[in-house]
């Protein structure tokens, strides 16, 4: 039995969906613990592509119980569209459960998000405009609507009507947006509630029962470490806690049940939206990475900014999350490059910085200090063991592991499930690692 957290070790979009899908074949339960429809996981199974936003990636494993935890924010319209799409593709959602204490994204949340971001001008954050931030803001303000409020018939109309009228004052007075009709919203969300009601559970209790039954549980984070509200590159962050500590809060479990934390990182770095990005490439190599890696957001379709691997943020992710091991994805995107660079530190003026600055202004001034490694000429997409990899590719992986002092457990070489090298199974225990116990490459 193992309870494992899967988190993004960069700015999100690292390929967590594929890794969660891969590991969920050994998991009895998969729990999504934070975020909303601003997240997007793309999973490819037998040439069929699944794009998931709220539903845990484990839904593609028919015997796996999938739970949307209380730390998430749920847009019922999008969730039901996702359920319908999966049904059309022959994927059952019978094992999908929704926390009764998760908060609900309402129409006014999306309107406020869009208007607020537009007003920021050159100070914009790069939000997806899906209403995530305002939903979490209402949660903190204690004016939010929870799933339990949605599915309990008694008082339903009064709760929704009050919330809509309360936010109408903000929409009209602050943003000059036409008021929403409370009756229309009530009827719309009553329909959502009727369809979602069979899926709603006390998720903390459901997870506890799985723990006591010695089930394998996978906790799936959305976004990435550097987008964490408290520990990310603020203010260019999301509105929740994607880091491993957020799993306990968002799922409603104690930290003592967690056995391992696996971080997912691309073999290079990408970022969506605004904010400093020290290793960003504005040249032909950056275009190559973006094109080969199909670097477009699952949720927004925006092209991702691309750059070399940043070991400074990698070491930060290891520390903040207590990572036990790494899954390195999209190694194949680097195939054929003459040389590959890795950022090992930053330079801020005359100062060399080995740690991520907390100051947004200092971080914006960081210039990467690179170590250059030789590239490899042959493709890696057909490699299935470490021995199959070109020696330069293996050396590159060992260099990353040595820099971050954490074993590499999984190497992904394409979008499909089978394009993967399992060095160490995070659920069933180690087979072989790229580092020994002292952090020395083998």
Quick one: tokens of 181? 């009709």
Catalytic (active site) residue 418: no
Distance between CA 302 and CA 205 in Å, rounded? 38
The answer to whether 41 is a known catalytic residue is yes
Active-site option among 13, 138, 310, 332:
13
How far is it, in rounded angstroms, from Cα 138 to Cα 109? 9
Which residue in this structure is represented by tokens 């992986």? 397
Are 247 and 219 within 8 A, CB to CB? yes
Q: How far apart are the first and last CA of the chain?
A: 28
Angle, in degrees to the nearest 10, between helices 391-404 and 311-321:
50
Choice among 41, 53, 109, 231 that is catalytic: 41
Residue 173, beta-bridge partner list: none
Q: What are phi and psi of 61, to 5 degrees?
A: -100, 110
For residue 309, which of 2, 9, 109 has the smallest C-alpha distance? 9
Q: DSSP assignment of 37-90, as one string?
A: TT--EEEEETTEEEEESSS-GGGGSTT-EEEE-TTBEE-HHHHHHHHHHHHHTT
**Residues identified as active-site:** 13, 41
């Amino acid at each position: 039995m193992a309870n494992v957290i899967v988190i993004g070790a960069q700015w999100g979009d690292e390929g967590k969906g594929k890794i969660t899908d891969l590991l969920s074949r050994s998991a009895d339960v998969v729990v999504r613990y934070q975020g909303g429809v601003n997240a997007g996981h793309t999973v490819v199974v037998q040439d069929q592509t699944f794009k998931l936003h709220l539903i845990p990636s484990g839904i593609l494993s028919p015997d796996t119980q999938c739970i949307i935890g209380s730390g998430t924010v749920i847009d019922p319209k999008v969730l039901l569209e996702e359920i319908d799409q999966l049904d059309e593709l022959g994927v059952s959602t019978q094992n999908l459960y929704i926390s009764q204490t998760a908060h609900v994204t309402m129409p006014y949340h999306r309107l406020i998000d869009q208007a607020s971001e537009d007003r920021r001008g050159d100070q914009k954050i790069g939000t997806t405009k899906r209403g995530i931030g305002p939903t979490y803001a209402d949660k903190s303000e204690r004016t939010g609507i929870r799933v339990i409020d949605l599915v309990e018939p008694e008082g339903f109309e009064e709760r929704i009507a009050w919330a809509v009228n309360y936010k109408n004052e903000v929409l009209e007075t602050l943003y000059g947006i036409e008021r929403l009709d409370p009756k229309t919203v009530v009827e719309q969300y009553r329909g959502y509630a009727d369809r979602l009601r069979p899926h709603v559970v006390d998720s903390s209790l459901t997870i506890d029962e799985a723990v006591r039954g010695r089930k394998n549980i996978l906790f799936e984070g959305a976004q990435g470490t550097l987008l964490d509200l408290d520990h990310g590159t603020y203010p260019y962050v999301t509105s929740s806690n994607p880091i491993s500590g957020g799993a306990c809060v968002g799922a409603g479990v104690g930290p003592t049940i967690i056995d391992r934390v696996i971080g997912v990182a691309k073999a290079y770095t990408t970022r969506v939206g605004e904010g400093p990005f020290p290793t960003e490439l504005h040249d032909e190599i950056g275009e190559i990475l973006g094109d080969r890696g199909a670097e477009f957001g699952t949720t927004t379709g925006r092209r991702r900014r691309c750059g070399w691997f940043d070991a400074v943020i990698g070491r930060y992710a290891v520390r903040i999350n207590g990572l036990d091991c790494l899954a390195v994805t999209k190694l194949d995107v680097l195939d054929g490059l003459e040389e590959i660079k890795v950022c090992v530190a930053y330079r801020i003026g005359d100062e060399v910085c080995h740690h991520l600055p907390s100051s947004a202004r200092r971080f914006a001034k960081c210039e990467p200090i690179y170590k250059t490694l030789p590239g490899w000429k042959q493709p890696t997409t057909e490699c299935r063991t470490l021995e199959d990899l070109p020696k330069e590719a293996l050396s590159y992986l060992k260099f990353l592991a040595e820099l971050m002092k954490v074993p590499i457990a999984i190497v992904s070489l394409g979008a499909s499930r089978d394009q993967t090298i399992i060095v160490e199974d995070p659920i069933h225990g180690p087979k072989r690692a790229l580092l020994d116990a002292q952090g020395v490459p083998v």
